Chains A and B, each alone.
Chain A
Amino acid sequence: MATNRVMDITALPAEKEALKAPWRIDLFAALPWLKRLVRLRSFQFLAILPNLLLFYLFILAGLFGSPIGNRNIIIVFVWILWWFVLIAALVPFGSRVWCTMCPLPFFGDWVQRRALIKVRTGKTVGLRNQFFGLNKRWPKRLSNIWLQNFGFLFLATFSTLLVTRPIVSVVVLGGLIVLATVLALVYRLRAFCNYVCPISGFLSLFSMAATIELRSKDKDVCLKCRSKACTTGSEQGWACPWYVYMGKLDRNNYCGLCFECVKSCPNDNISLFLRPFCSDTRIKSYDESWKAFIMLVLAMAYSVTLLGPWGMLKDWANISEVGNWTGFLIYAGVTWFVALVGFPLLYAGSIWLGRKLSRTDAVTIKDLFIRYSYTLVPLGLLAWIAFSVPLVMVNGSYIVTVISDPLGWGWNLFGTAEWPWKPFYPEYTTPIQIVLLLIGLYYALKRGYEIALTLYHDERRAARSLIPTGALVVAVTLAFLRLYVG
């Protein structure tokens, strides 16, 4: 049992179908070696270590290597290779598995735990592990993802600087690691990851679509558990760094896949499950809805400026090379306005109209607004993947050259430094993008209708309420297709 959705015996056939618990495959049962691996106390340390070493190399390359972006490993590996692998593979198929191996909170965890591998038992603010630092409570007003929303929007606005100037990447990535460490000294657990990290924000949203989930095997076992060791910690594992309670976990958003709960659970009741794409469909609050708006609008803004035919817009966004500050401010202002106000207003209009069409007040505007924003999750994720495909297919050859010359100093470590720049199968780019967008649209409409059924318990009302939002989603998809197909 890996879902807490309750079957309503009065539900309609279509609703029953929508509410039916989808299939799950227990990966720990199918692959016992995987369970043994994640139960190792050293598992997360070993997962982070290679990335930490790479991160150190990237920082050195950014500081001392070539200032030309495509000749420096920090730019090519982070903003082409890592980004593509993250958005096209790790998120859709591995949920927040990047968080398992992310080096950013490494030093913060270390200072909090004063241990790299072992567990310390003791008592800290209601938890059963000994933590160091001030262990302050994160401000209640900031216990949401608004900071992450603005942080990502800010970084995305200056992305041309980020992806072309190695030193800017050093400042941002180095700054994030320092910030994560300072916050770990002051606040309890992973305050940085939960509330501040701009990458974590979109991982949180898009992990809802992922085909894996970490959940309890039997919710009744969690109900009967007295220690709640997944949340509070034990001699075997640290308290959940993300502060979630596995007994009721029903979505991926705030599970960073550290697997501490697999170790700490006294009932061996936590497992990793394979599941259908887009299984978590419950957006819970406005900050999460706005994350969906921001991600979709940014995917569109990047597609317009980087892949579109409008040279002037490209120049406006490219502040690092063109230096047209007036143009850049117009570009940034329009992007922020559309992401934070314009598109949400358009979406709100579709919700208002949908509620009118449903001819009932049974569902509040707020519930509709928040729940239907899920339609933008599969569409947004697939749009980001579609946008990223040409980046790696066009610029992929830089990965091969930079491996031999990571600092751009003229080295030729593996004999590939002179590898000619050549796009990989450019003729397949557009068909791949079309297929990706249509998959996103399909899941947006399918899951949207399932959400509508759970809200209205009436097929006709559900369908009518979804028409305007569905039309908006179709229009956005057509806009992407127009950009990619030309």
Chain B
Amino acid sequence: MTKDFATLKPNEVVQLAIAVEEANARRFETFAGIVESYDPIVSRIFRELAEEERTHRELLERKYEEKFGQLTSDVEESEVKEVIEAVDMAHAEHFVFDDMTPLDALRVALNAEKAAHQFYSQVAATTSEPDWRQVYDELSTFEADHIRVLEERIKNLARAQRL
């Protein structure tokens, strides 16, 4: 039985955010494995992104402990109806056509971060509880930072490819 995101308490929301970062790290590792023998550069980018997701998870864990105390993992991504942040391939036939580029890999991550940012912003805007809004706003800002970093990487990579 899946829960509505709206029914989660603030500490559960952060627990969920932590679980999401770990899940994405694993997805990136799966993609890295698949493309390893196709394009080592894309594979390396996916592994770097997996590492970044784990760094995000650690940051969130520290925030959680500052705010709520000892971390428990009571909420998993699969227990919640909504999709908060899930990295995914752009299309189903990347491996058929061998057309995944380093830029595609970064865009995969960017799209997921944008979805998460939008999600947290929306729930922050609709909640009436100040404490909860603060948690959502912090998560939204957290994702906005990741978006900035990824956009910078994409810009640099695109520029390097043009040269």
Partners in one complex: yes
A143 touching B98 by the CB < 8 A rule? yes
Chain B residues near A248 (CB-CB < 8 A): 88-92
B83 touching A243 by the CB < 8 A rule? no
B26 touching A137 by the CB < 8 A rule? no
B83 touching A223 by the CB < 8 A rule? yes
A232 touching B92 by the CB < 8 A rule? no
Residue A138 is within 8 A (CB to CB) of chain B in the complex: yes
Q: Name B86's contact: one of A144, A224, A242 (CB within 8 Å).
A: A224
Residue A244 is within 8 A (CB to CB) of chain B in the complex: yes
Q: How far is the CB of B146 from the nearest CB of chain A, in Å? A: 18
Residue B33 is within 8 A (CB to CB) of chain A in the complex: yes
Chain A residues near B77 (CB-CB < 8 A): 224
Q: In the complex, what distance in Å separates the CA atom of A223 from the CA atom of B90?
A: 11
Q: Which stretch, B5-13, B35-43, B61-69, touches the partner chain A?
A: B35-43
Q: In the complex, what distance in Å separates the CA atom of A244 from the CA atom of B89?
A: 11
A227 touching B92 by the CB < 8 A rule? no
Q: How far is the CB of B54 from the nearest CB of chain A, in Å? A: 14
Scan B26-53; emit 1 where CB is below 8 A from any A CB, else 0.
1100111111111000000000000000
Q: How far is the CB of A41 from the nearest CB of chain B, in Å? A: 24
Residue A169 is within 8 A (CB to CB) of chain B in the complex: no
Interface size class of A (residues with CB under 8 A): 20 to 34
A138 touching B91 by the CB < 8 A rule? no
Residue A246 is within 8 A (CB to CB) of chain B in the complex: yes
Q: In the complex, what distance in Å separates the CA atom of A127 from the CA atom of B38?
A: 13
Given contacts A227-B30, A232-B30, contact A125 B36 (CB under 8 A): yes
Chain A residues near B33 (CB-CB < 8 A): 126-127, 232
- From B23, B90, B97, B99, name the one whose CB has the most chain A CB atoms within 10 angstroms: B97
Residue A438 is within 8 A (CB to CB) of chain B in the complex: no
Residue A60 is within 8 A (CB to CB) of chain B in the complex: no
Q: In the complex, what distance in Å separates the CA atom of A249 from the CA atom of B23?
A: 22
Residue A79 is within 8 A (CB to CB) of chain B in the complex: no
Q: Name A224's contact: one of B38, B78, B96, B99 (CB within 8 Å).
A: B78
Name 13 interchain pairs, CB-CB below 8 A, sorted by A. Answer: A126-B34, A126-B36, A137-B37, A137-B98, A224-B77, A228-B30, A231-B95, A244-B95, A245-B92, A245-B93, A246-B92, A247-B88, A248-B90
Chain A contacts to B: CB under 8 angstroms: 125-127, 135, 137-138, 140, 143-144, 194, 220, 222-224, 226-228, 231-232, 242-250, 253-254, 284-285
Question: Could you list 19 further interchain pairs (A-B, Cβ under 8 angstroms) beyond the known A126-B33, A232-B30, A245-B94?
Answer: A125-B37, A126-B35, A126-B37, A137-B38, A140-B98, A143-B97, A223-B88, A226-B26, A228-B31, A231-B95, A232-B34, A245-B95, A247-B89, A247-B92, A248-B88, A248-B91, A248-B92, A253-B93, A254-B92
Chain B contacts to A: CB under 8 angstroms: 23, 26-27, 30-38, 77-78, 83, 86, 88-99
